[in-house]
Structure 1
Amino acid sequence: MVEFSVSPGDTTRVSRAPLLRRLAIDLAVMTVVGLFLAVIGPFGSIEMPLAWRLVTWLGFAYAGYAIYRPMGLLVDRAEAALDLPRPALWFVATLAATVPMAVLVWVAGSLPPPIPVPGLEQALVHYLYVFVIGGGIVLLFHALRGRRGVEEDPGALPGERLGLTIADQDPLHAMEPALARGNPLLEQLPAELGSEVIALEMEDHYVRVHTALGSDLVLMRMRDAVAHLSASDGRQVHRSWWVARGAVEDVKREGRNVRLVLPRGLEAPVARAQVAELRDAGWF
C-alpha cells in the first residue's frame, strides 16, 4: 500500500495491486496492438523489414500509451469542473494528445538528423494519420473496458433521482456511519479510515471513497458503490460525485456553477440539472 500525505491528519491511500494489474493489462493490449500494426505495416511501413517494423510499432505503441493514458485524469477533472459530455471531452483530449505523439512519430521516422521541418499540408496529413491510429486505440480501450464491466458508470442520469438513497428524509442522521461488516465497499477501506463516508468520487476506472479521516481508491463501478451506501442519507449530485447530505459545510456559486464544500477541503460539483432539485430539497 502506498500512502501520500495530503495535509495534517489527512492521508490519501492508493492500493498498488489493482493499479499494477490494470497497468499490466493495458500494456498487454498495447503489445498486441503494436504487433498487429507491425504485421500489416500501415502508411507505407510495410516496405520496412519485419524486425524493424516490430521494434518501431511496439515502441510507438508504448509511447502512445504513455501520452494518451494520462488524458483520462484530465477528462475526469474537466468533466467535474465544466459539467460537459464525457465523449466530447475525450475527443478534445485525443486531439491534444495527438500533437506530441505526431511530433514523436515524425522525429523517429526522420532519423538520423538533421530532422526536416514539414510544410503545413504535410504536417496536417501526418497529424491525421497519427490521430486515426491514436483515436482508434482510445476507442478500443473504452470498448474493452466496457466488456470487462469496469467502465465509468454514472449510476444515474443528470437530474435523475437515485431510488436507493434516503436523501432529504432525516438530515440529523446524514453522517451516521454504515456498518462495514458485510458491505463490499466499506470492507475494502483501511480500518484507520473508518466507515463514515462523506463522498464518493469517480476517478478514471475507480471510485475514490472519501471519509472524514482520509480517502482510498476502490476498484468498483460508481453505480455499485452508491448502491452499497443505500442506508446512508446522500445523493448523487453529479455524474462523478455522490455526497452525504450531512457532510455539506457550505455552498460555492460561480455563475451557473455550484459546488458543495465538504470536510477536508473537498469540493463536489453539482450538475446543473440537479441544482433546482437540491435547492427544493433544502440542501442549500
Structure 2
Amino acid sequence: MRFGWKRKTITLGTLVVIGTMTGPFGTFTDLTLLNRFVYWLVACAACSFFMNIGIYLALTHPQIGRFSALLGMVAAVLLAAMPGTLVVMVLEFLFRATTLTPAFAFKVWAFISVIGLAVAQVDYMLFRAEADRSGTVPAADGTEASAPDRPECAFFRNLRPGVGRDLVSLSMHDHYLEVVTASGRDMILKRMRDAVSELDGYPGLRIHRSHWVALDAVVDIERESGGVRAVLGDGRRLPVSRAKVSELREVLSMRDGRAISG
C-alpha cells in the first residue's frame, strides 16, 4: 500500500507528457518542443510541490484540527494554487512575454485549483481501489477472526460495509488513513488524531505519530535496526516511537499478566 511517492512521480510525469505533447493554452503553437517540456515540467512540479505541502499541513497541523479533513484538503488545494499561480505567471512572462493582469492570474488560479482537486479525487479513488483489492487480513492463528463485542465508537461510521469492527491497526499513508481490521482494510480521508479521538474507549494505543494499534492485535515487541517495533498477529511490524515504548510495554504486561521485555 506504500506507493505514495511512486504514484506521485507517475502522476507528475503523466501531466508533463500530456502538457508537452498537446500544448494546452496555446503553448503548442507558441513554444518549441523543448520549451514546452521545460514549461510544463516546472509548472507541474511546482504546483504538485505546493499542493502536497498544503494538504499535509491541512491534515496534520493542530491549529486546523477544528475543520473536517475533507474541508481542510479542499482549502489546502485552493490556497496552494496561489503560489502555483505565481510560478505559472513567471513562466508565462519568461517564455511568452504574456501581459500579466489580475484577470489572467485568476484564470490560472482557477485552472490549477480544478486540476488539483481532480488529482486529489483520483488519488483517493486509487487508495480506495487498492484497499478493496487487498482482501482479508488473517488473524493471528491464520483464520479470519470474528469480532468480539466492541464499544460503539463514532469512528466506525467512516468505514465501508464489510470491513468489520475488529480493528488491527491504523496507519497514515500519504494524506490518507489506512484502516486494517481482521476482516479486511479500508482507506479513508481522516487525520490520525481525529481517528484516535473517535476511538475513545476502544482498547488501543497510538504507538507512533503515523500508527495506532489495537492492543489485542499486538503479539510481541522487538528491537530492530536500532528501533522498537510492535509485532502484529498478521505478521506486520510497526515502528514504536521512543516516547511510547514504556507505555506499550506496560499496557501489554497488564493485558497478559506478565512482563514484556522487548
TM-score, normalized by length of structure 2? 0.52
* 1:31-73 per-position Cα deviation (integer Å, ceiling 9, x unaligned): 0121012222211212122232122212222222211112232
CA contact (8 A) 1:156 1:239 kept: no
Matched residue type, 1:100: P
Distance change in 2, residues 1:26/1:224 (3 Å): farther
> Is 1:58 matched up with 2:58?
no
Partner of 2:166: 164
The alpha-carbon deviation at position 105 of structure 1 amounts to: 0.7
Q: Distance in 2 between matches of 1:79 and 1:145?
A: 25
The alpha-carbon deviation at position 79 of structure 1 amounts to: 8.4
Given the alignment, which residue of 70, 86, 92 partners 1:103?
A: 86
Partner of 1:222: 179
> Is 1:119 matched up with 2:119?
no
* 1:135-154 per-position Cα deviation (integer Å, ceiling 9, x unaligned): 3323332233332229xxx9
- Once the two structures are superposed, the pairs formed by residues 119-198 of structure 1 within 5 Å of their partners are 119-149=101-131, 156-157=156-157, 163-164=165-166
SS at match of 2:181: helix
Distance change in 2, residues 1:224/1:56 (3 Å): farther
Distance change in 2, residues 1:44/1:134 (3 Å): farther
Matched residue type, 1:82: G
> Is 1:239 matched up with 2:208?
no
The alpha-carbon deviation at position 110 of structure 1 amounts to: 0.8
* 1:134-184 per-position Cα deviation (integer Å, ceiling 9, x unaligned): 33323332233332229xxx96227xxx8437xxxxxxxxxxxxxxxxx8x
Q: Distance in 1 between matches of 2:74 and 2:45?
A: 21
Identify unmatched segments of 5+ residues in structure 2: 133-153, 159-163, 186-191, 207-241, 245-262
The alpha-carbon deviation at position 132 of structure 1 amounts to: 2.6
* 1:220-247 per-position Cα deviation (integer Å, ceiling 9, x unaligned): x22438989xxxxxxx994355465587
> Is 1:93 matched up with 2:82?
no
SS at match of 1:70: helix
Q: Distance in 2 between matches of 1:141 and 1:121?
A: 30
* 1:237-263 per-position Cα deviation (integer Å, ceiling 9, x unaligned): 943554655879xxxxxxxxxxxxxx9
Q: State the 4+ residue runs in structure 1 displaced beyond 6 angstroms.
A: 225-228
The alpha-carbon deviation at position 29 of structure 1 amounts to: 1.9
Q: Distance in 1 between matches of 2:103 and 2:59?
A: 34
The alpha-carbon deviation at position 129 of structure 1 amounts to: 2.5
- Once the two structures are superposed, the pairs formed by residues 248-267 of structure 1 within 5 Å of their partners are 264=243
CA contact (8 A) 1:201 1:240 kept: no
SS at match of 1:26: helix
Q: Distance in 2 between matches of 1:38 and 1:226?
A: 45
Q: Which structure would you say has the larger RCO, counting Cα contacts within 8 Å and 6 or more residues apart?
A: 1
The sequence identity of aligned pairs, in percent, is: 17
Partner of 2:214: none
Q: Distance in 2 between matches of 1:49 and 1:135?
A: 29
CA contact (8 A) 1:73 1:203 kept: no
Partner of 2:17: 35
Identify unmatched segments of 5+ residues in structure 1: 1-17, 166-182, 186-199, 208-220, 229-235, 249-262, 266-284
Distance change in 2, residues 1:108/1:157 (3 Å): same
TM-score, normalized by length of structure 1? 0.48
